Structure 1
Amino acid sequence: MDWVDKAQRILAGEPLTPEEGMRILAVERWAELLPILAGAHLLRRAAFGEEVEFATLINAKSGLCPEDCAYCSQSSRSRAVVPRYPLLAEEEIVRGAKQAVALGARVYCVVTSGRAPTPGELERLAEAVRRIKTRFPALKVYGSFGLLEREGAQLLRESGLDGYNHNLNTSRRMYSRIATTHTYDDRLKTLRVVREAGLRVISGAIFGMGEEASDILALAEDLARAEVDEIPVNFLIPIPGTPLDHRTPLSPLRALAVLAFLRYRFPRTPLRVAGGRELSLRSLQPLALLLATSIFVGDYLTTKGQPPREDVRLLRDLGWPVPAPVWPEEGATRAPS
């Protein structure tokens, strides 16, 4: 199959068929994958050029979670040793935004553990967002606080929050194997609430939890029906002490096949490579940016990321522009070293 021709037809309005999606996800050799990557890169360039967006996150409330998500080191089933603390003070969350800007990030994601935020936590988070948006108006602030009701979503929207990240994580078929304390429909409801509030809808998945190609196709259809604005792509980190600590990380070939499929299926949707990229992509991380448009820089929730200078070098090796910090107080930009 001529995948560059397929990419051109997608740009002209032809969708990726389920059969073509299965073909991408079934690749077993680099000789099969490389032509697929060429077409996927054409789609990425057509919609986004060479732009790469840096994103950072802050673990604003850690551990203490009653949910039983099998992949998570903070869940009730986890025996992993992780930091445990209540919601950070607003000053600390704002300080994290300044650090995000210093790294050249355009997205700052505030993440809290737990099933859902309490009313008091929502008020404090909303105030932190107001302070961040006042000080750094160009910085996009996203929240990831668990399940959300209409009133909470509206409060966050009024505070200046730009988007809400709530991953589906896997397919409906797989979901009860991953979590039982909430349902797939609970997550879909939160996505609807977020969209109705006027926030950007950010939702993706964690790949490498035992899903089959058919699960990835089904998940993609649910993301499309939810009209997601951005898709975070995580690869499982088998954290010792979690129920999935026995899983083998995806290989670079498998991880890139997933990214390629998502690019063909969502040709104009930003894809953000997030947790586990260092583990699954390894030395082939630059190839991911031929498909994705954004990466998380710095550390993740309870695991270390690679040093930000490595991500800067990655872009420079590609010959692509490096996001520069924007300091509104100084009215100037400085390229990171």
Structure 2
Amino acid sequence: MPNWSEFADRALAGEPLTRDEARAVLAAPDDALLDQLAAAYRVRRQHWGNRVRLHFLLNAQSGLCPEDCGYCSQSKVSAAEIEKYPMLAREKILDAAERAARLKAGTFCMVISGRTPGGRVFEKVLDAVREVKARHDLRVCACLGLLSEAQAVALKEAGVTQVNHNLNTSRRYTPDVVTTHTFDDRVATVEHVKAAGLKTCSGGIVGMGETDDDVIDLALSLRELEVRSVPVNFLIPVPGTPFETVRALDPRRCLRVLCLYRFLLPSQEIRIAGGREVHLRSMQVMGLYPANSIFIGDYLTTQGAAARADLEMIRDAGFVLEAPDGSAYAGDPLADLPESYPRAPLPMIHV
């Protein structure tokens, strides 16, 4: 059996695992899981203490996407029953930002469907970002599809802190997931974001039928690109999508993936993203030992856990919320949260 504590030592020293060692993390038996989590937490604690960063998602433009991503309910090949609408009015976006602030989220993530934003939509995004920044102490993350460096610069000037653009899977497996763009197209957008001086946010989706080596290759690509924030999604097989019959995950598999990503990406923000509630289920809190971030509220086209339940989970495990400035949140986050906080009117996934 590998010595997981030695894996933590290597991660803390900045040394990557070998491929065989990475495979061993994913192939470990269930009785090794607690030791893996303890080792991963030692790395997480060194870089992030016991803080948990919260992100809030807004699906600001839904459906009608020309891409053919097999996992996505908004793609042109999806028959999923979802709401489809153009770019939301600014006031609706500001209402969502208010909800994010009330839920103690440090980052407001604004997402639009589509391959790349058109000129009018992009200007609306910039306008909304400026207004959100003027009203709230929130980091703003934009997820807008493929971007040029000039667009990334414009987002930074408007007040965007980071841009999300997931690689989604390995270079090898990408053609099995999507044919309307390439792995290199996605890498180029991440590089444009980095060149503009924005924080890079890029991760993937696990459970789409990929191999262990694909999971490892994705992490290594993110490490090579020096991505700073890594959302790890777990596939929700939405009815009506090409991947609706894919069933490849259980809670222990998900936790092993999170441990591996902490070993390979020791200082990065690792976020448990779409599929957390579906696949980790009663073991969700254990994901906070390797990961240091979650979404609160809903996802893009699927509903998340109730905000109160998430905040109680964080508190009960002895973790503390991270404030927008990176410090520990002062006070009880549940103190001014209504017993039944209204759900976002536009449920959400996979960002």
Mapping for residues 1-337 of structure 1, pairs under 5 Å: 1-27=2-28, 29-136=29-136, 138-322=137-321, 335-336=333-334, 337=337
Number of corresponding residues:
330
1:333 deviates by 7.0
Structure 1 stretch displaced more, 82-91 or 9-18 = 9-18
Q: Which stretches in structure 1 are left out of the alignment for 5+ residues?
A: 327-331
One-letter identity of the residue aligned with 2:129:
V
Does the 8 Å CA contact 2:169/2:215 hold for their aligned counterparts? yes
Q: Structure 1 residues 13 and 299, CA, compared in 2 at 3 Å: closer, same or farther?
A: closer
Does the 8 Å CA contact 1:324/1:334 hold for their aligned counterparts? no
1:90 deviates by 1.4
How many angstroms apart in 1 are the aligned matches of 2:24 and 2:32?
10
Does the 8 Å CA contact 2:223/2:264 hold for their aligned counterparts? no
Does the 8 Å CA contact 2:201/2:229 hold for their aligned counterparts? yes
% identity of equivalent residues: 47
Does the 8 Å CA contact 2:80/2:241 hold for their aligned counterparts? yes
1:263 deviates by 0.3
Please provide the CA RMSD for this pair: 1.6
How many angstroms apart in 1 are the aligned matches of 2:150 and 2:324?
34
Q: Structure 1 residues 13 and 177, CA, compared in 2 at 3 Å: closer, same or farther?
A: closer
Structure 1 stretch displaced more, 287-296 or 249-258 = 249-258
SS at match of 2:163: strand
Q: Deviations over 1:25-71 (max 9, x none)?
A: 112x3212222111111111111110001111100000111111000
Does the 8 Å CA contact 2:54/2:321 hold for their aligned counterparts? no
How many angstroms apart in 1 are the aligned matches of 2:223 and 2:7?
20
Q: Structure 1 residues 155 and 283, CA, compared in 2 at 3 Å: closer, same or farther?
A: same
Q: Deviations over 1:144-165 (max 9, x none)?
A: 0100012211111110100000
1:9 deviates by 3.5
One-letter identity of the residue aligned with 1:189:
A
Q: Structure 1 residues 13 and 72, CA, compared in 2 at 3 Å: closer, same or farther?
A: closer
1:4 deviates by 1.5
1:8 deviates by 2.3
How many angstroms apart in 2 are the aligned matches of 1:9 and 1:72?
36
Does the 8 Å CA contact 2:234/2:274 hold for their aligned counterparts? yes
How many angstroms apart in 1 are the aligned matches of 2:121 and 2:212?
39
SS at match of 2:115: coil
How many angstroms apart in 2 are the aligned matches of 1:13 and 1:70?
35
How many angstroms apart in 2 are the aligned matches of 1:162 and 1:325?
11
Does the 8 Å CA contact 1:116/1:148 hold for their aligned counterparts? yes
1:334 deviates by 6.5
Match of 1:329 in 2: none
How many angstroms apart in 2 are the aligned matches of 1:267 and 1:25?
17
Q: Which stretches in structure 2 are left out of the alignment for 5+ residues?
A: 338-351
TM-score, normalised to structure 1, is 0.94
Q: Deviations over 1:291-310 (max 9, x none)?
A: 10100011100101010111
How many angstroms apart in 1 are the aligned matches of 2:321 and 2:143?
26
How many angstroms apart in 2 are the aligned matches of 1:259 and 1:75?
27
Structure 1 stretch displaced more, 295-304 or 7-16 = 7-16
How many angstroms apart in 2 are the aligned matches of 1:32 and 1:50?
23
Does the 8 Å CA contact 2:207/2:234 hold for their aligned counterparts? yes
TM-score, normalised to structure 2, is 0.91
Does the 8 Å CA contact 1:299/1:305 hold for their aligned counterparts? yes
Structure 1 stretch displaced more, 30-39 or 202-211 = 30-39
Does the 8 Å CA contact 2:11/2:264 hold for their aligned counterparts? no
Runs of 4+ more than 3 Å apart: 322-326
One-letter identity of the residue aligned with 1:335:
P
Does the 8 Å CA contact 1:325/1:335 hold for their aligned counterparts? no
SS at match of 1:52: strand
